[in-house]
A and B are shown apart, each in its own frame.
Chain A
Amino acid sequence: MPIEIPKDKWPGSIKSITIGATSAEGGTRAKIITIGGGTTMPYLQFDAPVLSGDEAPNKPVIAIEIKSHKPEDWSPLLAEVWGEAMSDPAEWAKKAEEAGADLIVLALTVDDSAEDAVRVVKSVLSATGLPLIVWGPGQAEKDNELLVPVSEATKGEKLVLGICEDKNYRTIVATAMANGHLVQARAPMDVNLSKQLNILISDMGMPKDRILMDPTTGALGYGIEYGYSVMERLRLAALQGDAMTQFPMIVTPGFEAWKTKESKVGEGVPEAWGDWTARAINWETITATALVESGADIVVLRHPESVKRVKGAIEELITA
């Protein structure tokens, strides 16, 4: 006798959000990406299957982080794998696309002028057809100084601009609204703070299908449990119908994992730690996979091998 498995029905769902615009839509992207759309807790395939196709709920995607200048403080393991490309953002973006990135995160630096920033963003846009996320250097004034001209110069591309925080969001949101871009809203690992920032951004009139939330996270062994549970709770709140938490989530496991001692240091560590490269990639992969399972829609990674492995993990999650 066939048994009908009861399906959980939640009153709320995650918004479907599209990043990037093709030429038909006023941009230049060869490929655009839609994320979100979830109606259950992640990967409860018996309730509502996450699909590999273009239908909601959409599967999570992977972004590779590149920088406008070769980063001096990155692990030598990353410098080794990306090689010369690290000195040329356009080249780096191309290699990232080859490595399997679904989209690119371009991080500008404090050394960039407004003109540099616009030039670098444009060169990356011509080097790859992937959708693009652009981050300021992370200092309020400098972020605003760089992101406004970038936003204006790329009107209609549907970039994601970031990173908005509660003390500095107005300028970025205003320029994103005026030029048809999206924003990334980051709050420090707290459900309420995430929600509050989303409210502030929405209060400015930003359409709800143009906000990504970044709940901030920690690496494996460095607070991932906390990050995981905050994401889980955000997802639960969203499903329960709280409109201000129904945005897809972007997290940065690459950034977090590569600043741990385990990834950064190859010498003078206990022998039991094993091979450095294997360990560092494991660290990034395990961090990212855990976050995918807690409901991340975009994971931002740094090492091509991690990209491959996390992709595999996502495929397994939705086909298992």
Chain B
Amino acid sequence: MQHTISFTQHDKPTPIVAQVPTNTLLADAAHIAGIDIGQPCGGQGRCGRCAVQVTGGTVRRRSTLRLSPADVEQGYALACQTVVEGDVSIFVPPQEKIERRLTTDRVVAEVTVPEGYEYLQDQTVRRIHLELTPPSMDDQTDDWSRLQIAFRQQQNMERVTCSVDLLRKMGQVLRDGDWNVTAVVDVSNVIQSGESNHTIQLIDLQPGLVDEYSPLWGIAIDIGTTTVSLWLVDLVTGRVRAQVAEYNGQIARGEDVISRIIYASKNGGGQELRQRVLDTINSLLETACKRVNAKAGDVVKATIAGNSTMMHLLLGIPAENIRLSPFITAVNHPPILTARAVGLNTNPEASVDCLPGVASYVGADITAGVLSSGVDVADDVTLFLDVGTNGETVLGNRDWLVTCACSAGPAFEGAGVVNGMRATQGAIEEVWINSDTFEPTYRVIGGGKPKGICGSGLIALLSEAFITGILDKAGNVNLMANSSRVREGAHGGEYVVAWGTESESGEDIVLSRVDVDNLLRAKAAIYAGFTVLAETVGILLESVSKVLVGGSFGKYINVEKAVQIGLLPDMDWSRFEFLGNTSVKGAYYTLLDWRKRERITEIAKRMTYIELSADNSFYEAFTSALFLPHTDLSKFPSVAEVLENKQADTEKSTHVDK
């Protein structure tokens, strides 16, 4: 019996109609109607990308995997899994909309100005207008005293101090502005003590009266072992005006903190590493400022998060003792410094606040992450994972916090992977592989030609290659797979994600055996870290109410795929939240609000550090996690189910072939 199927596309006004018999797949009907509905997984109902909305008529859904009951309620159906049983009207939504709806995709949280931000109450730097009485033969007061008098009389600021550099340029500035000046001052001492007679630091002095509402620039920085991120913030409105990131220039001298420390302890090595990270930061600063037509020298405040080693290397403090037992840092909580002393190209008087860390391997990046993710105020037990070069984990709530760290390597930041890259324009951030043909479908950040693969893309690729059988559970490339994309490469088997003809560089983009090993080690270290931590404090992972994930990923993370490779625990997807770079976000919060700054000091004091190398349970957990998804498949029931279904499918099709 023939039925009339009417397809309405989101971008076309007139519906297209096709005649098809009963039990025709919607995907086939669409094909007959000349409408292309993408089926990245090869029509197996695995990816959910072919969802359409049935607006009228009767269909039968063979599978609604990937659709929530609410979706089905609204008429959504997978075109590759749904057959027509009468005349039907279909709406074909835009691809973007489908991605938003899919339960597996988690959009990384965006940055919003913290609610209730009040510059005049929360901020420690202020812009002040001063109108001075010009000197005369009768009033022979010196320039500096004249300025101090204005502070006292007009702002009730008793004790203002400044650097010799400011003294040097003060006379000219006062005269250029015809004795009207705009001062930028740091009032943290006054704010924090609540008493007005504490010292106030003069940071900047400009001629004339600068618009009160014009931006006052501050920067929040996260120095990661692999990636450095910098946010340029208007301290008046609290808005983040530019976000930039780049690989840490120190990578050229070692990929992990240990090799950096060793390098630093060699003659001149410490100085070189300090210069390299300063170059990275200053170039990011330049880029960010250019975007908003500001000058680096206009930046009057900086807050820095980063692991303890990065902090030591930035400040040029010897770091050897971090590496040597009993693993003691020189400083967990550096005093407030000036940009001049640190070497930042901001205003040299700008205060540089290096946030407090906990221990050698749990630094300010984690305290900042705890602050921005809110684990320290959570009612229920929460797990916070920072998926970076050092896989740090925090478990706890508002009553207690425990933490551990393990070395995961830079793979999830796209470093140490042949075609890896940061999550920027041109990075493949999501991949599906058709399990019959092994042909991939991918999504590129920015939509252009692919240049490489970023962390989220690598997770997706590893998962798809594993589920489709291109990789075995140990990550070996199955060279018997029938596809030209699976081949012998320079370092063992490899899979071609994009041919040279499709890529930006003209060269093939591949996932090599070495990459797979690096990714496996990274995910195993992270998984082992949080499982051992949870075991140590006697908490079952299932009882954790929320899993907060930080890291330099792209915009989306596919939870299902992160579970399939065994990076994240197999639990209800709704419990996961992806927060993006939580470290720089924590630095941003403390940059804005001095109370948050006090809270982070509290967090650092409250966290209990657990040393994983104290016994062999970590190593044990690590080797058992060094497998896809895990040596103990019973820990990953959802993945076991996918594998069983696939096995059943294969057997069915083999049977048909006979």
Contact = CB atoms under 8 A, between A and B. Distances in A.
A193 B472 contact: no
A200 interface: yes
Given A192-B623, A193-B623, A200 B474 contact: yes
Contact of A196 (B478, B480, B620, B631): B631
A190 B623 contact: yes
19 contacts: A166-B476, A170-B478, A170-B480, A190-B623, A192-B623, A192-B627, A193-B623, A195-B624, A196-B474, A196-B626, A196-B627, A197-B474, A199-B473, A199-B627, A199-B633, A200-B472, A200-B473, A200-B474, A203-B472
Interface residues of B, number: 13
B631 A195 contact: yes
A88 B216 CA distance: 89
A261 interface: no
Interface in A104-133: none
Interface string B29-42: 00000000000000
Interface string B244-276: 000000000000000000000000000000000
B473 A196 contact: yes
A7 interface: no
A192 B473 contact: no
Nearest to B479: A170
Interface string A171-206: 000000000000000000010110111011001000
Contacts of A170: 476, 478, 480
B474 A192 contact: no
Contacts of A199: 473, 627, 631, 633
Nearest to B478: A170
B631 A192 contact: yes
B523 to A, nearest CB: 15
A62 to B, nearest CB: 31
Contacts of A196: 473-474, 626-627, 631
Nearest to B634: A242
Contact of B620 (A167, A192, A195, A200): A192
B473 A167 contact: no
Nearest to A204: B472
Interface of B: 472-474, 476, 478, 480, 620, 623-624, 626-627, 631, 633
Contacts of B476: 166-167, 170, 200
A196 B474 CA distance: 7
A203 B650 CA distance: 13
Given A192-B620, A192-B623, A193-B623, A166 B631 contact: no
A166 B474 contact: yes
Contacts of B626: 192, 196
A263 B451 CA distance: 58
The B interface is mostly helix, strand or loop, or mixed, namely loop
A199 B472 CA distance: 10
Contacts of A200: 472-474, 476
A170 B480 CA distance: 9
Interface string A145-174: 000000000000000000000110010000
Given A192-B620, A200-B473, A200-B476, 8 more contacts: A170-B478, A192-B624, A192-B626, A196-B626, A196-B627, A199-B473, A203-B472, A203-B473
Nearest to A194: B631
Contacts of A190: 623
Contacts of B624: 192, 195
A199 to B, nearest CB: 6
A196 B622 CA distance: 13
Nearest to B480: A170
Contacts of B627: 192, 196, 199
Q: Which 4 A-B pairs have the closest CB atoms?
A: A192-B623, A192-B624, A196-B627, A166-B474
Contacts of A166: 474, 476
Contacts of B633: 199
Contacts of B474: 166, 196-197, 200
A200 B473 CA distance: 7
A195 B473 CA distance: 12
Contacts of B473: 196, 199-200, 203
Contacts of B620: 192
Contacts of B472: 200, 203
B621 to A, nearest CB: 9
Contacts of A197: 474
A205 to B, nearest CB: 10
* Most B Cβ at <10 Å: residue of A166, A195, A196: A196
B350 to A, nearest CB: 51
Interface centre among A167, A192, A193, A200 (most CB of B within 10 A): A192
A192 B626 CA distance: 9
B479 to A, nearest CB: 8
A125 to B, nearest CB: 30
B153 to A, nearest CB: 74
Contacts of A192: 620, 623-624, 626-627, 631
Contacts of B480: 170
A243 B581 CA distance: 42
B142 to A, nearest CB: 76
Contacts of B623: 190, 192-193
B186 to A, nearest CB: 55
A73 B623 CA distance: 35
Interface-central residue, B473, B474, B478, B620, by most chain A CB under 10 Å = B474
Nearest to A171: B480
B646 to A, nearest CB: 11
A195 B624 CA distance: 9
A166 B472 CA distance: 10
A193 B631 CA distance: 9
Nearest to A205: B647
A13 to B, nearest CB: 19
B495 to A, nearest CB: 16
Nearest to A167: B476
Nearest to A168: B476
A41 B324 CA distance: 42
A23 to B, nearest CB: 32
A166 B478 CA distance: 12
Q: Of residues B478, B480, B631, which shows the largest number of chain A Cβ atoms within 10 Å of its Cβ?
A: B631
Contacts of A195: 624, 631
A166 B471 CA distance: 13
Contacts of A193: 623
B35 to A, nearest CB: 39
Contacts of A167: 476
Nearest to A166: B474
A192 B620 CA distance: 8
A196 B472 CA distance: 11
A197 B631 CA distance: 10
Interface in A179-237: 190, 192-193, 195-197, 199-200, 203
B630 to A, nearest CB: 10
B620 to A, nearest CB: 7
B139 to A, nearest CB: 84
A193 B474 CA distance: 10
Nearest to A244: B631
Nearest to A197: B474
A6 B627 CA distance: 40
